[in-house]
Amino acid sequence: MSAAATATTAATATTANAAATAADAVGPRASLAYLLRLGDLSLVLGQRLGEWVGHSPALEEDLGMANIALDLIGQARLLLSYAGEVEGRGRGEDEIAFLREHGEYLNATLAEQPNGDFGHTIVRQVLLDAFQLELYQRLAASADARLAAIAAKSVKETRYHLRYSAGWLVRLGDGTEESHARVQSALERLWPLTVELFAADEIDRAMADAGIAPPLEQVRAAWAARVDALLAEATLERPRDQSHAWFGKQGQHSEHLGYLLAEMQYMQRTYPGARW
């Protein structure tokens, strides 16, 4: 190893030590919120996909979507466990996942949107898979070693998720007249909710400044390039950006989240502390 390379390695190590965790770098409150945003996105999206089990257009799709849902819930477990430790009130993954109130969930509003038809679910999935892929790829280089490790594991799963959802987007978009019309209309309905994914607030900026998370404008550029290419292949038209009222990552949700939580939380609230 050359002297210059050694020096670089040493410098990197020093930086990493200076901000070993997100909590050290930006304080526990901001890092807790950031971890909940990541974890809740996976949790809520996983719950939504799970609703397809037993109702998919084909047995093979049933298993495919259940598989993706399980990956997402696995990511949520890692992220919410970490969030529980950062919070420091002794809450584990289950308490965090199942015993919070509506406004305490910090997932982007897009994740909680109802499944609609299969094409609608696929559009939601493509938009979020592409987002998670670009985000996790960059989080894998986070100054927070634990977050980096979670992202490195998740990025492999997410690459497959996007392969699956993008395959369907192209098949449906470039399919029959009806399938094209359905996914185009789902795209029109869901597109406004993508604005929130990249609308950086003080938490996102603090994370980026500390090297914990990538700047969201960087994620947005990569996401847009990826999504545009997919839409072109699927012969779909990209809707115009417009503002929207929801801001799930600050706890302001659409009416759909309450119904989802009622079903998801039922078991833990009826049998508190139940394990299996």
Partner 1 sequence: MENQHHWPLYEVFIRARGGLDHKHVGSLHATDARMAIEHARDLYTRRQEGVSIWVVPSVDIVASDPGESAALFEPARDKIYRHPTFYEIPDEVKTL
- Report the residue from 1, 4, 5, 58 that binds partner 1 according to the rule CB under 8 A: 58
Nearer to partner 1, 164 or 223 (CB): 164
Nearer to partner 1, 168 or 223 (CB): 168
Q: How far apart are CA 111 and CA 123, in angstroms?
A: 11
Nearer to partner 1, 11 or 63 (CB): 63
54 near partner 1 (CB under 8 A) = no
Q: How far apart are CA 6 and CA 9, in angstroms?
A: 5
Handedness of CA 241, 246, 248, 249 (dihedral sign): positive
Nearer to partner 1, 160 or 247 (CB): 160
Nearer to partner 1, 123 or 162 (CB): 162
Residue 230: which of 161, 165, 180, 175 has the closest Cα?
Answer: 165
Minimum CB separation from partner 1 for residue 58, in Å? Answer: 5
* 118-139 helix and 177-190 helix, angle to the nearest 10 degrees: 50
Handedness of CA 156, 247, 115, 122 (dihedral sign): negative
Q: How far apart are CA 120 and CA 189, in angstroms?
A: 9
Minimum CB separation from partner 1 for residue 252, in Å? Answer: 35
| Number of chain residues interacting with partner 1 (CB under 8 A) | 12
Positions in 140-199 near partner 1 (CB under 8 A): 160, 163-164, 167, 171
Minimum CB separation from partner 1 for residue 50, in Å? Answer: 15
Nearer to partner 1, 39 or 64 (CB): 64
Looking at 17-25, 62-70, 75-83, 266-274, which segment touches partner 1 (CB under 8 A)? 62-70
63 near partner 1 (CB under 8 A) = yes
The neighbouring-strand residues paired with 252 are: 247
67 near partner 1 (CB under 8 A) = yes
- Report the residue from 1, 60, 240, 271 that binds partner 1 according to the rule CB under 8 A: 60
- 3-state secondary structure (DSSP) of residue 247: strand
57 near partner 1 (CB under 8 A) = yes
53 near partner 1 (CB under 8 A) = no
What phi, psi does 252 have (nearest 5°)?
-100, 105
Q: How far apart are CA 215 and CA 208, in angstroms?
A: 5
Minimum CB separation from partner 1 for residue 60, in Å? Answer: 4
Q: What is the dihedral of CA 39, 40, 41, 44, to 10 degrees?
A: 130
Looking at 2-10, 37-45, 54-62, 140-148, which segment touches partner 1 (CB under 8 A)? 54-62
Minimum CB separation from partner 1 for residue 258, in Å? Answer: 31
Q: How far apart are CA 126 and CA 162, in angstroms?
A: 6
Q: To which H or E segment does residue 196 belong?
A: helix 195-198
Helix residue ranges per DSSP H, 1-88 = 3-18, 22-26, 28-50, 59-87
- Footprint of partner 1 on this chain (CB under 8 A)? 57-60, 63-64, 67, 160, 163-164, 167, 171
